[in-house]
Structure 1
Amino acid sequence: MRLTTLPRSRLPPTSSLLARSAFTPIMAPRRKASSVPEGYKEDLSKGKMLRFEDSLPRLPVPSLEETARRYLKSVHALVSETEYQRTKKAVDAFVGEEGKPLQERLLARAADPNCKSWLLDWWNHAAYLGYRDPVIPYVSYFYSYRDDRARRHPAKRAASVATAALEFKRQVDDGSLEPEYMRGQPMAMSTYQYMFNCCRIPGDSVDSPQKFPAADHEHIVVVRNNQFFKVPLTVNGQRLNNSELEQQIARIYEVAQPAPALGVLTVANRDRWADARKKLLAAHPANEQALRDIESSGFLICLDNAAPVTLEERAHQYWHGDGANRWFDKPLQFIVNDNGTAGFMGEHSMMDGSPTHRLNDHLNSLIFNHKIDLSEQPVRSGLPDPRPIAFHLSGEVLEAIDAAAKEHRQQISSHELKVQAYQGYGKGLIKKFKCSPDAYVQMVIQLAYFKMYGKNRPTYESASTRKFQEGRTETIRTVSDESVGFCHAITDPAVPREEAVRLFRAALTAHSKYTAEASDGRGVDRHLFGLKKLLREGEKLPALYEDPAYAYSASWYLSTSQLSSEFFNGYGWSQVIDDGFGIAYMINENSLNFNIVCKRLGAERMSHYLNEAASDLRDMLMPDLVAQPEKAKM
Structure 2
Amino acid sequence: MVRRNYVAAAAPSPISQKPTVPYPVDTSVGPLLRYQKSLPRLPVPALSETLEKYLKSVRAITNDDEYTKTQAIVAEFQKPGGLGEELHKRLLEKANDPNVINWLEEWWNEVAYFGYRDPIVVNVSYFYAYKDDKLRKYPVARAAAIVTAALEFRRLIVEQQLEPEYAKNLPLCMDSYKWMFNACRYPKKPSDFELTFDPATNNHMTVIRKNKFFIVDLVKDGIQLSTAEIESQLRKIYELAGNTKDPAIGVLTTENRDNWTDYRELLLAAGSNEQLLKKIESSVFALCLDDTSPVTRDEISHACWVGDGRNRYFDKSLQFIVFENGRAGFCGEHSSMDGTPTCRLNDFVCDVIAKNKINHGSPNVRSNLPEPEQLHFTLNNDVLDAIAKAESNFDSLVAKHDLRVLSYQGYGKNGIKTLGFSPDAYVQMIIQLAYYKMYGVCRSTYESAQTRKFAHGRTEVCRSTSVDSVNWVKAMEDPKVPLEVKADLGRKAIKSHVKYMSEAVEGRGCDRHLFGLRMSLRPGEEKPAIFTDPIYIKSTHWYLSTSQLSSEYFVGYGWGEVVPDGYGIAYQVNANVLSFNVVSMHLNNQQMCHYLREAADEMKEVFEHAQAKEGRVPAKL
- TM-score by length of structure 1 reads 0.95
Deviation at 1:626, TM superposition (A): 4.6
C-alpha contact (below 8 Å) 2:416/2:423 kept by paired residues: yes
Match for residue 225 of structure 2 among 218, 240, 247: 240
Deviation at 1:428, TM superposition (A): 1.0
The percent identity for this pair of structures is: 50
Residues of 2 paired with 1:253 and 1:565: CA distance?
Answer: 31
Q: Determine the structure 2 residue equivalent to 1:516.
A: 502
Deviation at 1:22, TM superposition (A): 2.6
1:275 is the counterpart of 2:258? no
Q: Determine the structure 1 residue equivalent to 2:70.
A: 87
Q: Determine the structure 1 residue equivalent to 2:10.
A: 23
C-alpha contact (below 8 Å) 2:8/2:338 kept by paired residues: yes
Q: Determine the structure 2 residue equivalent to 1:117.
A: 102
Offset from partner CA, 1:412-451 (integer Å, 9 cap, x none): 1011111111111111110111010000000000000000
Residues of 2 paired with 1:440 and 1:316: CA distance?
Answer: 27
Aligned runs of 1:590-601 on 2, under 5 Å? 590-601=576-587
C-alpha contact (below 8 Å) 2:173/2:454 kept by paired residues: yes
Q: Determine the structure 1 residue equivalent to 2:148.
A: 163
Q: Determine the structure 2 residue equivalent to 1:174.
A: 159
Deviation at 1:254, TM superposition (A): 1.3
Q: Determine the structure 1 residue equivalent to 2:235.
A: 250
Q: Determine the structure 2 residue equivalent to 1:614.
A: 600
Match for residue 485 of structure 1 among 471, 491, 494: 471
Match for residue 9 of structure 1 among 2, 17, 40: 2
Q: 1:382 to 1:74 in 2, by over 3 A?
A: same
1:57 is the counterpart of 2:44? no
Q: Determine the structure 1 residue equivalent to 2:87.
A: 102
C-alpha contact (below 8 Å) 1:159/1:242 kept by paired residues: yes
1:361 is the counterpart of 2:354? no
Which amino acid letter does the alignment assign opposite residue 269 of structure 1?
Answer: N
Q: 1:68 to 1:390 in 2, by over 3 A?
A: same
C-alpha contact (below 8 Å) 1:28/1:182 kept by paired residues: no
Residues of 2 paired with 1:584 and 1:453: CA distance?
Answer: 20
C-alpha contact (below 8 Å) 1:332/1:346 kept by paired residues: yes
C-alpha contact (below 8 Å) 1:279/1:397 kept by paired residues: yes
Residues of 2 paired with 1:145 and 1:541: CA distance?
Answer: 47
Residues of 1 paired with 2:512 and 2:392: CA distance?
Answer: 36
Residues of 1 paired with 2:453 and 2:379: CA distance?
Answer: 47
C-alpha contact (below 8 Å) 1:179/1:186 kept by paired residues: yes
Offset from partner CA, 1:208-267 (integer Å, 9 cap, x none): 001101111111111100111110011122211110001001111111142110000001
Residues of 1 paired with 2:586 and 2:373: CA distance?
Answer: 43
Offset from partner CA, 1:129-166 (integer Å, 9 cap, x none): 00000011111000000100000010000000000000
Consecutive unaligned residues in structure 2, runs of 5 or more = none
Aligned runs of 1:362-511 on 2, under 5 Å? 362-374=348-360, 377-511=363-497
Q: Determine the structure 1 residue equivalent to 2:322.
A: 336
Secondary structure of the corresponding residue to residue 31 of structure 2: coil
Residues of 2 paired with 1:44 and 1:20: CA distance?
Answer: 33
Q: Determine the structure 1 residue equivalent to 2:560.
A: 574
Match for residue 283 of structure 2 among 290, 297, 315: 297
Deviation at 1:376, TM superposition (A): 6.4
Match for residue 21 of structure 2 among 37, 48, 51: 37
Deviation at 1:25, TM superposition (A): 2.0
Deviation at 1:597, TM superposition (A): 0.6
C-alpha contact (below 8 Å) 2:51/2:74 kept by paired residues: yes
Secondary structure of the corresponding residue to residue 327 of structure 1: coil
Paired residues, what number?
613
Secondary structure of the corresponding residue to residue 470 of structure 1: coil
1:535 is the counterpart of 2:521? yes
* Coordinate RMSD, CA, aligned: 1.2
Secondary structure of the corresponding residue to residue 199 of structure 1: strand
Residues of 2 paired with 1:95 and 1:21: CA distance?
Answer: 32
Deviation at 1:630, TM superposition (A): 5.7
Residues of 2 paired with 1:311 and 1:148: CA distance?
Answer: 15
Which amino acid letter does the alignment assign opposite residue 268 of structure 2?
Answer: L
Offset from partner CA, 1:349-371 (integer Å, 9 cap, x none): 00000000000001111001110
C-alpha contact (below 8 Å) 2:32/2:161 kept by paired residues: yes
Q: Determine the structure 1 residue equivalent to 2:58.
A: 75
C-alpha contact (below 8 Å) 1:27/1:182 kept by paired residues: no
1:226 is the counterpart of 2:219? no
Offset from partner CA, 1:443-496 (integer Å, 9 cap, x none): 000000000000110000000000000000000100000000000001101111
Residues of 2 paired with 1:56 and 1:235: CA distance?
Answer: 39
Secondary structure of the corresponding residue to residue 289 of structure 2: strand
Q: Determine the structure 2 residue equivalent to 1:584.
A: 570
Residues of 2 paired with 1:569 and 1:363: CA distance?
Answer: 15
Deviation at 1:375, TM superposition (A): 7.5
C-alpha contact (below 8 Å) 1:134/1:270 kept by paired residues: yes
Which amino acid letter does the alignment assign opposite residue 307 of structure 2?
Answer: G
Which amino acid letter does the alignment assign opposite residue 595 of structure 1?
Answer: N
Offset from partner CA, 1:328-367 (integer Å, 9 cap, x none): 0001000000000000000000000000000000111100
Q: Determine the structure 1 residue equivalent to 2:250.
A: 263
Range 558-567 or range 374-383, more displaced: 374-383
Residues of 2 paired with 1:482 and 1:250: CA distance?
Answer: 58
Q: Determine the structure 2 residue equivalent to 1:558.
A: 544
Residues of 2 paired with 1:36 and 1:512: CA distance?
Answer: 25
Q: 1:294 to 1:495 in 2, by over 3 A?
A: same
Range 230-239 or range 137-146, more displaced: 230-239
C-alpha contact (below 8 Å) 1:28/1:184 kept by paired residues: no
Q: Determine the structure 2 residue equivalent to 1:4.
A: none
Secondary structure of the corresponding residue to residue 221 of structure 1: strand
Aligned runs of 1:147-226 on 2, under 5 Å? 147-226=132-211
Consecutive unaligned residues in structure 1, runs of 5 or more = 1-7, 14-18
Q: Determine the structure 2 residue equivalent to 1:5.
A: none
Deviation at 1:28, TM superposition (A): 4.0
Residues of 2 paired with 1:594 and 1:74: CA distance?
Answer: 25
Which amino acid letter does the alignment assign opposite residue 418 of structure 1?
Answer: R
Secondary structure of the corresponding residue to residue 584 of structure 1: strand
Deviation at 1:36, TM superposition (A): 5.8
Residues of 2 paired with 1:310 and 1:36: CA distance?
Answer: 44
Which amino acid letter does the alignment assign opposite residue 434 of structure 1?
Answer: G
Which amino acid letter does the alignment assign opposite residue 327 of structure 2?
Answer: T
Deviation at 1:385, TM superposition (A): 1.4
C-alpha contact (below 8 Å) 1:264/1:327 kept by paired residues: yes
Deviation at 1:629, TM superposition (A): 4.7
